[in-house]
Amino acid sequence: MTNTRILLTSIALLSFVATGFAADSTPPATPPASTNAQPKDVSAPARKSQSDVASKTASFGMISKTNETFKTALDAHALAEGLKQADKVGAFKGTVTKIFEPRGGNLAIINFDADYKTAMTGLLKSENFTNFPDLKLLVGKEAVVSGKLIDFQGRPEIVLTNSDQIKVVEQ
């Protein structure tokens, strides 16, 4: 009988100890998250857009439709002709439809068609953003882009380094 009492006491003691440890192992209650809390962004800080850092003193030049550069400039949609001019200095003209800045803020792309794949583009790298006025001022305007044509993934484009490479066509 003493053995039975010892056995029952031991079982009760072990049961108490086991439930005490189990209760300690549950994680503490956390307060509910705020409904407007934002996840922390651990990536590198985003670069500013071209518009944010655009030069306040630079301006786009003007060009007349009688100017020789305008007359000889390729149409922005003449992709085959543009590719033939790859690695040569040239010019193309068209109406700017959109300024696209891919995520990361390293580039600004001047598109001359709603479907960027169907027209040549002007490319501006972030290190040259401050050399140009706000590119968004070009949207809806006819412009001539000049410089060295390159073949980028089968499409011609001109990399821009200074604002003299873009001229707005006089109306």
Secondary element (H or E) of residue 71: helix 68-72
Name the fold adopted by 50-169.
OB fold (Dihydrolipoamide Acetyltransferase, E2P) (2.40.50)
| Residue-wise pLDDT tens digits, 120-155 | 999 999 999 999 999 999 999 999 999 999 999 999
β strands within 35-165, DSSP E: 61-63, 74-75, 89-95, 98-100, 107-111, 121-125, 142-152, 155-160
> Hunting for tokens 């580039």 — which residue is that?
107
| Residue-wise pLDDT tens digits, 24-60 | 444 445 444 444 444 444 555 667 899 999 999 999 9
**Domain residue limits, the chain:** 50-169
